[in-house]
Amino acid sequence: MITVGRGRRILKLAGAATAAMTVLAVAGCAAGDSGTTDGGGDGDVTIEFAQWWEPELPDGEFRALIDKFEEANPGITVDLVSGPYASTKEQLFAGAASGTMPDVVGLDGAWVNDFASQGVIADLSALMEDYDYDDSELASQIQVDGSTYMIPVVNFVYPMFTNDTLLAEAGVTAPPTTRTEFADAAAKVSALGGDASGWVLPLSLEAPNGVQNDVMSWVWASGGSMLKDGQPDLTNDDVASAVDFIGGLWEDGVIASGSFTMKEQDKVEEFTNGRVGMMIDSLAHINLIRETNPDLKFSISALPAEDGYDGERGIPYASWGIGVAENSEHKEAAFKLVEFLMSEDTNSELSTMAKAFPGNSKSVPDFVNDDELFKKAFEIYQAGYPANEFTGLPVAEELMRLLGEQLQAAFDGQQSIDDALKKAQEAWKAEF
């Protein structure tokens, strides 16, 4: 029987000028059961909750969970504003600029520093104090200058997904564990012909999180870092080795076409439709893949490491974080929803739906014992450490975009990879 790890960590981020990085706890979450609270203190209210979570969960399940909140809080109605990750991000950044953010917002850790520095998301530490909230069950909090602005609701690791059918047809008997094995498997899958490719790499500059999830993940998988003393260090041997490796895959033609405009959802579609042998992706998409293509046989495993590396492997992760808009006129009602989602029972239910590790330190999702894929994911997590150095950096999305621009130019033959990393390094320094 697998049990969820206990523990409580706070990720403290510096202000806009400087960022302090640390690792976020991936197992455990929040406190206080709000299931018996009354409605909003200012009478019947409707609050908007913008997030990308509902489309990634089984149909109707998230709305049913919110219905439970409304039943327990009859004075509050929740209007779910749901869309894909990329469109939710665009909506929130537009709302930040215009002062029209929805009351409750789903947050990516990469956005928190920017939003907090702009003053568009509320200080949750102050709200916790105002509403007498006990945060002792919160496994992790994202802080800027000593105040919490985001609470991770559920957390996802990003393992490697493999199309078992394509790999078997290519003569690959097991998921690769090293870079050499990965390159060999990618070449063999691509050699099958047709529309098959070995790997899929989204490098859209419009939604540049592929730089985080699909490029830097190779660095972290071998214990490397893109930072030194909290400052950019893109030209070190670990980063150069990983990007050189990806460049070799590009030259070998084993990466699916369309990378320069491909976003994360496009990557998932390519894999789900059986056109690529391997991808790095969030556990959040397992339900989507299963529902869209029930016949697809796939496995998950740890990201391949550099040949000869035998240390702990960094595991990319991302969180469904939650915050409250500073412009909300119904902060009490908004915080009641936060409290509800972070309560032990609700968080167990949500993390089970999402197939993610819970944010409440007392919550235990059913899947860690009931689903073989997620048992494997938890074992991968236990064997390594969560790694995402973009979380909390100032203008994190822009940093991804700046590196993505240089990588596109390098892969397109306009410059060397060394020059790409040097230029990105200088561009990053200007942002720190």
What is the set of domains in the chain, with CATH numbers?
9-157+317-387 (3.40.190.10), 160-301+395-431 (3.40.190.10)
- Contact call for residues 213 and 158 (beta carbons, < 8 A): yes
- Contact call for residues 306 and 144 (beta carbons, < 8 A): no
For residues 251 and 300, give the distance between their C-alpha atoms in angstroms, rounded to a whole number. Answer: 26
Neighbours of 37 (CB within 10 A): 19
pLDDT band at residue 16 using 50, 70 and 90 as cut-offs: very low
Question: For residue range 23-36, what is the model confidence (pLDDT) as tens digits?
Answer: 333 333 333 344 33
pLDDT band at residue 13 using 50, 70 and 90 as cut-offs: low
- Mean pLDDT (whole number) for 144-150: 92
Beta-bridge partner residues of 140:
9
Look at residue 411 and tell me whether its pLDDT is greater than 80. Answer: yes
Look at residue 241 and tell me whether its pLDDT is greater than 70. Answer: yes
Q: What is the average pLDDT value for the chain, to the nearest integer?
A: 89
What global pTM score does this model have? Answer: 0.73
Look at residue 178 and tell me whether its pLDDT is greater than 70. Answer: yes
For residues 243 and 227, give the distance between their C-alpha atoms in angstroms, rounded to a whole number. Answer: 15
102 or 376, higher pLDDT = 102
The confidence score (pLDDT) of residue 181 equals: 98
- Mean pLDDT (whole number) for 50-55: 96
Question: For residue range 272-284, what is the model confidence (pLDDT) as tens digits?
Answer: 999 999 999 998 7
- Mean pLDDT (whole number) for 346-373: 86
Radius of gyration of the chain (CA): 21
Look at residue 251 and tell me whether its pLDDT is greater than 60. Answer: yes
